[in-house]
Amino acid sequence: MKGALTPAAAAELVPDGASIMIGSFMGVGTPERMIDALVARNVRGLTVIANDTAMPGRGIGKLISAGAVSALVTSHIGLNPETQAQMIDGSISVELVPQGTLVERIRAGGMGLGGALTPTGLGTEVENGKQVIEVDGARFLVERPLRADFALLAAWQADYVGNLSYLLTAHNFNPMMALAGATVIAEPNAIVPVGVIPPDAVKTPGVLVDHLLVRANAGGQTWMQRN
């Protein structure tokens, strides 16, 4: 089976100071067991790229509470007062990016593009220090692509070769992050034989996925032990 790891073993792959993309939409699409393992490892100095930081005690909020994050690229932090407090006291540097711009920057990084053009932010503080170009008489900001050392993703299902399917708002960022992470670690809700996931339900092909987190069955065995 594709690179099966325990959460603890996967967390050991992520060094202090790494940049990581984490699938998240208010905690949906976030690999909770992977985050718990990173907290347990006491990782430090992470740069996290994500839609949001969820809430204290949930998802990325656990990394914030643990002091594991030094830099954050995100769309909003409004539901996590701990993130706000750490931004204010300087513990975390925060780059706030409009949501559509953020996912386009991730897509550009995954596709090998030089950036994304957007009118969003023109005439505001977002424009400061950024290149502005004109296309057919209209002005656009040049937003630089985003890539990361790791993409940590939750999935609804994975098969033995790493094909992934998602549910609901996990579709918003996870498929793009799978393209933009140098090492992709997926935490599926279930691991199924090849063919169980219909071809048109595969949103991230296994060729992009480096490791799957193992899951225990009702008898306590893991897929790693059985395969």
pLDDT tens readout for residues 53-105: 999 999 999 999 999 999 999 999 999 999 999 999 999 999 999 999 999 99
Task: For residue 211, give the nearest of 193, 187, 180, 176 by alpha carbon.
Answer: 187
Q: Kindly report the length of the chain.
A: 227
- Under a CB-based contact definition with an 8 Å cutoff, are residues 120 and 99 in contact? no
pTM above 0.85, yes or no: yes
Per-residue model confidence as pLDDT tens digits over 114-148: 999 999 999 998 899 999 999 999 999 999 999 99
Quote the CA–CA distance of 32 and 160 in Å, as a whole number.
21
- What domains are defined for the chain? 17-119+128-215 (3.40.1080.10)
What's the pLDDT tens digit per position in 148-179?
999 999 999 999 999 999 998 889 899 999 99
Residue written as tokens 């040049």? 142
Residue 72, token pair as written in the block:
């954050």
Under a CB-based contact definition with an 8 Å cutoff, are residues 83 and 48 in contact? no
